[in-house]
Structure 1
Amino acid sequence: MTPPAPPRDPAGPGRLDAESAPGSWSRPVALVVAAAFFMENLDATILSTATASIARDFEVVPAEVGIAVTSYLVAVAAFIPLGAWLAERWGARRVFLAAIVLFTVASLACALSGDLVSLTASRAVQGLAGSMMVPIGRLIVLRSTEKSELIRAIAYLTWPALVAPVIAPLVGGLLTEHLGWQWVFLVNVPVGAALLVAAWRVIPAVPRAPRARLDVVGLGLVVAAVVSGVVAFELLGGAPTAVTGAGLLVLAVLLVLAAGRWFRRVAHPLLDLTAFRIPSFRVTNLSGSVYRAVVNGVPFVVPLLLQDGFGWSPAEAGLMLTWVFVGNLGVKPFTTPLLRRLAVIPIVTVSTVGLAATFVGAALVTAETSPVVIALVLLASGVFRSVGFTAYNTLQFADVPPERLGAANALSSITGQLAVGLGVALTALVVRIADGVLGTTGVGDPTGYRIALIVLAALALVSIVEGLSLPRGTGASLRAAPR
């Protein structure tokens, strides 16, 4: 008698196989995926330090180079749903390996670009490849991990998002100063080649499942909403473009509403929004996105505070920012035991309040403040951001059943990536508005940067309000004894 076919996964997007059950997690697989995340996260922010050099070579003003940064962030966020669909259709391992190859080739194309148009196009291709590496890599790890081992697995996947934005200014500055801006991209070629070999050896092949046709309308709505939203934030900060930016922001909101309505009505939506019915997932991806945006705004504003506000050199500012990285790294051995022993919500609350306090502390420093004091403030900021970031990333999947992991992962990847881009854009917008209202330029006057830090502190505190309403015992499955 022929056995019945496995049931169709109702979760929709992001499913990789038919009825695969979590098992013993693989450290080599987690490390390879984390390395891919690191390469993608580093490229999201490293270009900012090379902007002046690129502008000189292309004979454009530095502000125009910002489109190359924006095109990358937009492509990553907009095409994450497409990557999840491709993984279902062609297999997670195959698409993940192809994404590494495409990212490496696009990096080489960026280095060989002779004008801003070709650089922007190559960056968009990089972003497309990154949109496939992020959700697929994480889902490969999640599908092979039991709930009791989720803390350990997520700890491996979290460090790239914490470390890369912090060390990017230093790495980008050193490469640009000593080797040329092209090496900001060329460094990805040997790294990508090594990563491809490692991934080929350790990433398991996962059986593919039947998949409905691509939801082209849904993909178009998501891409249009992301592009409109990111460009809107870029335009809102300047008086001549503020009206256009406001119009695009309204358009983005309308497109999001239209996409939500479409996904609820269509039989096979590109994104399954039902994961938002799970309280812990909803909180960590809505309020948690505010936290992620805040975390990613700090590596942008602190170097500017030190350079433009206090007159430090780029190298001095980059080195000082590495104290955030030291805090991230130093607390890592204690993060997993902490999450196993204590409830997640109190950890998130305390770490968020502590993080906001360090923002206020950074806003209060002056040009005469001892570098030791500044380093201690940034060190504490790194500790709190690492604990909170890991707690949020772990809690979001704590109550998601295995059959819903694919859909939840796709939604989480989009909200997380948008938080990264919007965090920087929002911080820059606050600085520009503050400087415009106060009539300052930022150079020699740190007021705008201080106001931005205070705003980030306030937003951090706002992010914990919804989490406090979660029922007692949320995330308890994470503290179960591992097998």
Structure 2
Amino acid sequence: MYRKNAALLMTVGLLCALEYLQAGMIAFASAPIRGEIDASPEEFTLVAALYACIAVVVISKQRWLVERLGWRNFMLGSISIYVLGAVVCGISGDLTSFTVGRVVMALGGASFMTSARLMVNLLPPGPGRFVGVKVFATGLASGTAAAPFLSSLAVVEDTWHAIFWLLIAGAVAAGGLCIRFLPSEPIHEDERSPSSPANILLLSVSTFFLLYVLQRSYYDFYNESIILLAFALLAALGVYIFFHAEHAKDEPFLKVKDLMQSRYILGVGLFCFTYIVLGSNNYILPYFLQSGLGYSWDTIGTFQAFGLAGALLTWFAMALVIPKYPAPKKFFVVGFAALISFGLLLSSLTLDANMWTNILPALVLNGCFVMLVLATAAMQTFRDVTHHDTLFAHAYQIKSMLGQIAMAIGTTLATLFLQWRTTLQYNNLNGHFNPGDPLYQDSAQRLTLALSPAVGAGPANQIAVATLAQDLHQQATLVASMEYFWVVIVVAGVALGVSMAQKTFK
């Protein structure tokens, strides 16, 4: 029994780490991968929308499939499909094969994190389950922290395919562990959840259009804002109709009606809010560090990994405190205070900011915020539904489905904000970029004089103008990014006030 429990715990941590590794590595290396497979940003957006859409649908069917296949067959099938998709991505050299690989990976691996959390309930009730939760959170923090470092290492070494071979190795190891402990018997027919093909079709179509419109808005929002907003609202209405229909059924596919409790609703709302902030920060930080401050790709990956390791250290500290002082409110307060401090540290940087003393502490605080809020929400949100395996599974599935959408919303909001403010700041600064401006004349003359001995007067003047134009864009990006961090401060301040005032999570 001890060996089976140890294998289960290792699988829980590995599956959770794999989910955050694949998401983090591919997001961080998206630009280099696009270049290697000759894909435009718009085409890569379609791939991401397809993956997220399939992920939502697969997560919604997780419990339904487990009930009919049994845990072992379901996990071995999921891992096999995931490995197949990763192999296709690992040998791909064009957009078509990469897209096929990502779709297959989503079919197999989208439910890894949900499955990992539900596997914890295969442990006997008691302290062992809390150990399972700790292992789950450790896998989450480890995968989150390792993703940018491993991704940047693969890109710098010009071996981006190694991302997928690493995922394959982890998935094969998880499959071997699953054989050792997972039960193979399906759930008795009388206890199975009913199917709902029409509702699943509605969910699939609505989710795809919502995610695609969100990601398409990166490129067309300011030109076609009314059309995009209209389609987004229609798609969101479709998702709402899906949940409303499940709520109204006597025998639903997902037990939405039984989950309408204040603790669960507030917890899922907190999850979604945190995922929106996480998606926004994950987009802004690499762009800010590279385009605004001029750091190299591998440096950014390494320091983001150092910063996100703060999440792992935070979890170790929480694991020591929770058994003696389990009240959740203090963790939320400290988490949102960490997010405010993160924003304050990055909202007043200059071009000569030091990575170790000015930026790394902020990245660590961002990791602390993620773990303090997400881990605490995970332990509190589902407290009233753990007595029923199916209800708990449906509760976690719905949270994971909405989390996929919330991450996409966060990335979209950050992208649109940065486009808006960068353009505005660029136009403000561009007023000085003309031959009649004394500051421009002085800067151009000094650069031209410095370069002339090496390249000649004519090329030196051209290089000077190009350098000033690059500096202009960098300054606009820096100021726009700092405005974003002020928004984070305000939003985190409101969240801090709400977390102190609410009485559900005491």
TM range (shorter): 0.7 to 0.9
Report the alpha carbon displacement of residue 392 of structure 1 after superposing the two structures with TM.
Answer: 1.0
Alignment match, 1:325: 308
Q: Which has the higher contact order (CA 8 A, sep 6+)?
A: 1
* 2:394 match: 407
SS at match of 1:446: helix
1:269 matched to 2:252: yes
- Once the two structures are superposed, what CA deviation does each residue of 1:36-63 show, in whole Å capped at 9, x if it has no partner? 1211222123223443443334334345
* Match of residue 425 from structure 1: 412
Whichever residue aligns with residue 192 of structure 1, its letter is: A
CA distance in 1, matches of 2:136, 2:110: 16
CA contact (8 A) 1:46 1:168 kept: yes
CA distance in 2, matches of 1:282, 1:373: 38
Aligned match of 2:197 in 211, 216, 219? 216
What's the CA shift for 1:296?
3.8
1:450 lines up with 2:482 in the alignment: yes
| Offset at residue 260 of structure 1 (A) | 2.5
Q: Would you say 1:435 and 2:422 are equivalent positions?
A: yes
Mapped pair 1:391 → 2:423: no
Q: What is the distance in 2 between the residues matched to 1:382 and 1:339?
A: 19
Deviation larger for 119-128 or 288-297: 288-297
Contact 2:17 2:141 in 1 (8 A): no
Give the 3 Å change call, closer, same or farther, for CA 468–439 of structure 1 in structure 2. Answer: same
Kept in 1, the 8 Å contact 2:38–2:95? The answer is: no
TM-score between both structures, scaled by the size of structure 1: 0.85
Alignment match, 1:7: none
Of stretches 419-428 and 346-355 in structure 1, the one that deviates more from structure 2 is 419-428
State TM-score, norm by structure 2: 0.81
Measured after TM superposition, the shift of residue 149 of structure 1 is 5.4
Find the counterpart in structure 2 of residue 281 from structure 1. Answer: 264
Secondary structure of the residue aligned to 1:364 is coil
- The sequence identity of aligned pairs, in percent, is 18
Offset at 1:361?
1.7
2:177 & 2:386 partners in 1: Cα distance? 30
Task: Tell me the secondary structure at the aligned position of residue 117 of structure 2.
Answer: helix
Unaligned runs of 5+ in 2: 428-471
Structure 1 residue 312: Cα displacement:
0.8
Matched, 1:45 2:24: yes
CA distance in 2, matches of 1:120, 1:425: 21
Match of 1:230 among 211, 224, 232: 211
Shift of 1:83: 2.1
Structure 1 residues 129, 363: closer, same or farther in 2, change over 3 A? farther
Equivalent residues in 2 for 1:459-470, closer than 5 Å: 459-463=491-495, 467-468=499-500, 470=502
Cα distance per residue 1:301-334 (max 9 Å; x no partner)? 2121111001111111112212222312222322
Query: Of residues 180, 184, 200 in structure 1, which corresponds to 2:159?
Result: 180
Structure 1: runs of 5 or more not aligned: 1-24, 476-483
**Structure 1 residue 223: Cα displacement:** 1.8
User: What is the deviation of 1:216?
Assistant: 0.9
Aligned counterpart, 2:467: none
Aligned residue in 1 for 2:365: 380
Of Structure 1 and Structure 2, which has the larger fraction of its residues in helix?
Answer: 2
SS in 1 for 2:111: helix
- 1:245 paired to 2:232: no
The equivalent of 2:344 in structure 1 is 360
1:313 aligns with 2:296: yes
Q: CA deviation at 1:452?
A: 2.8
1:125 is aligned to 2:125? no
Taking the aligned partners of 2:194 and 2:263, their CA distance within structure 1 comes to 31
Secondary structure in 2 matching 1:269: coil
After superposition, give the CA deviation of every residue in 1:378-408 in whole Å (9 maximum; x if it has no partner). 2233233222221111111222242231221
- The total of aligned residue pairs comes to 452
1:145 and 1:355 map into 2 onto residues whose CA distance is 36
How much has 1:109 moved relative to structure 2? 0.8
Residues 184-219 of structure 1 deviation map (CA, whole Å, 9 limit, x = unaligned): 212222222222112211334455132354211221
Query: Structure 1 pair 447/204, CA: closer, same or farther in 2 (3 Å)?
Result: farther
Note the 1:17-28 alignment, pairs <5 A: 26-28=5-7
Distance 1:76 1:169, change over 3 A: same
Partner of 2:450: none
Moved more, 152-161 or 402-411: 152-161
1:230 counterpart letter in structure 2: L
Q: Following the alignment from structure 2 to structure 1, what is the Cα–Cα distance between the partners of residues 473 and 211?
A: 24
Q: How many Å separate the matches in 2 of 1:263 and 1:442?
A: 50
Q: Distance in 1 between matches of 2:22 and 2:188?
A: 33
Distance 2:145 2:270 in 1: 23
Letter in 2 for 1:458: V
Alpha-carbon separation, structure 1, partners of 2:283 and 2:323 = 32
Which SS does the other structure have where 1:214 is aligned? coil
Larger deviation, residues 98-107 vs 335-344: 335-344
Asked whether the 8 Å contact 1:96–1:137 carries over to 2, the reply is: no
